[in-house]
Structure 1
Amino acid sequence: MARPKQFDPDVAVEQAMEVFWRKGYAATTPQNLADAVGIGMGSLYNAFGSKRALFEQALSRYVDVRLRALSELLEEPTPVKERLRKALVFMAEEGARGCMVVNTAGELAGTDEEAVRVVRRDFDLVESVFQALIEEGQRAGEIAPERDPVPLGSMLLSIMVGLRLLARVTEEPGRLRRVIDATVDSL
């Protein structure tokens, strides 16, 4: 009797994340996932329960990894506007496959409340990070103190979502740079 193939569940979630990110939830089949992870369908279901459960883990992993990278970038000991510019460039660099969170919002909003909850949580966290960065810039004298950090944080979130969508379809990288430069300069 053949011995069951062993696999690392964390690596499997990472591999599944790549498939969902590239194809989207609806277009990803359980067979796509089993192939990417390198296990049989039975092992996939035994380990994760369902395609949906694996998607939730993959989306959460994506959010955690991206937020950690964004936080590290924003904690650098450089001027606030420079960090903000780097953060926006980082977000625009995902290119043709876009951002898994933004893609999920577009694909599943209105049909999948749990996925939307994860998207909202991510957007809320990013918005609060931007708001805190604006407040830091005000304390440092880089951003006018009379500017309200709450709507500025919301604006930066909206620009980030737009950049991530635009990055999927633009053929002119200069367009993204113009948006980033205009955004930072407007502060």
Structure 2
Amino acid sequence: MSKSGRPREFKDTAVIDAAMELFWTNGYEACSTEDLCKHTGLGRGSLYNAYGSKHELYEQALLRYHQIGIEAQVEMLQNLGPIKDRLRALLDWAIEEDFSNEKRRGCLLINAALERAQRDPAVERLFKQHVDLLEEALHRAIDTGKESGEISQQRQTPDLVSLFMGNYYGLRVLNVAMQNRERAVQMAEATLTAIF
């Protein structure tokens, strides 16, 4: 994020999307400024004038990915219909995201967190924000399920949210590491069975 209010000379979205694709494929460390220039179509001077540094462009790319992803995930949980169907839709979406393109890169934010969160406060902050927003949406969905009688009142909402979150993020890491879609589907079903 540009902290100095630099003028934007380029169409931000196109440049950020191009950088996002490159960071997603290569990770932060393996992504050179030369690679970014080639991929975005900007010269080195233009890139630095517009974004300040490789890291600021990385933050912008992660922020864009976060905004698009969290909007899609929260929307699924807020849809009408049975809560089980909403949770299944979220799990199915994650599996589709992780296996649908030939590069099978997984989730950019999870990848970034695994690569850099311990030493990069910006990555840590963005990932935490993403997780917190998803957790809040899950909390609301599960409370709705308890009110409608779909989920037992005896079950504690924070416990169910923790169960789902742990399985969801574990699933996403395993999807990239193991590349086994059948196993991912089994894990998703087991997660739902544990809740309902």
Partners of 1:108 and 1:115 within 8 A in 2: yes
Gaps of 5+ in 2: 1-8, 99-103
**Aligned residue number for residue 79 of structure 1:** 82
Which residue of the partner structure matches residue 170 of structure 1?
Answer: 178
Large movers: runs of 4+ above 3 Å:
none
Q: 1:104 to 1:171 in 2, by over 3 A?
A: closer
Aligned residue identity for 2:149: G
Count of residue pairs the alignment pairs up: 182
Instruction: Report what 2:120 is aligned to.
Output: 112
Mapping 1:87-166, distance limit 5 Å? 87-95=90-98, 96-166=104-174
The equivalent of 1:17 in structure 2 is 20
Residue aligning to 1:65 = 68
Root-mean-square deviation (CA, aligned residues, Å) is 1.4
- Structure-2 residue corresponding to 1:47: 50
Q: CA deviation at 1:14?
A: 1.3
The CA deviation at 1:169 is 2.8
Residue 21 of structure 1: CA displacement?
Answer: 1.2
Distance 1:179 1:131 in 2: 21
Q: Is the contact between residue 13 and residue 54 of structure 1 (CA under 8 Å) also seen in structure 2?
A: yes
Residue in 1 aligned with 2:5? none
Quick one: structure 1 residues 171 and 54, their matched pair in 2 at CA, closer, same or farther if it must change by over 3 Å? closer
CA distance in 1, matches of 2:180, 2:81: 29
Q: Residue by residue, what CA displacement relative to the aligned partner does 1:122-151 show, whole Å, maximum 9, x if unpaired?
A: 111111111111111111111111211112
Q: Distance in 1 between matches of 2:65 and 2:41?
A: 20
Would you say 1:182 and 2:190 are equivalent positions? yes
- CA distance in structure 2 between the aligned counterparts of 1:10 and 1:116, rounded to whole angstroms: 23
Give the Cα separation in 2 of the matches to 1:66 and 1:171.
Answer: 21
Q: Which residue in the other structure is 1:35 paired with? A: 38
Quote the offset at 1:170 in angstroms. 2.8
Letter in 2 for 1:26: E
- Give the conservation status (yes or no) of the 8 Å contact 2:78–2:141: no
CA contact 1:88–1:160 (8 Å) conserved in 2: yes
Aligned amino acid, residue 160 of structure 1: Y
**Distance (whole Å) between structure 2 residues aligned to residue 19 and residue 155 of structure 1:** 33
Q: Secondary structure at the match of 1:186?
A: helix
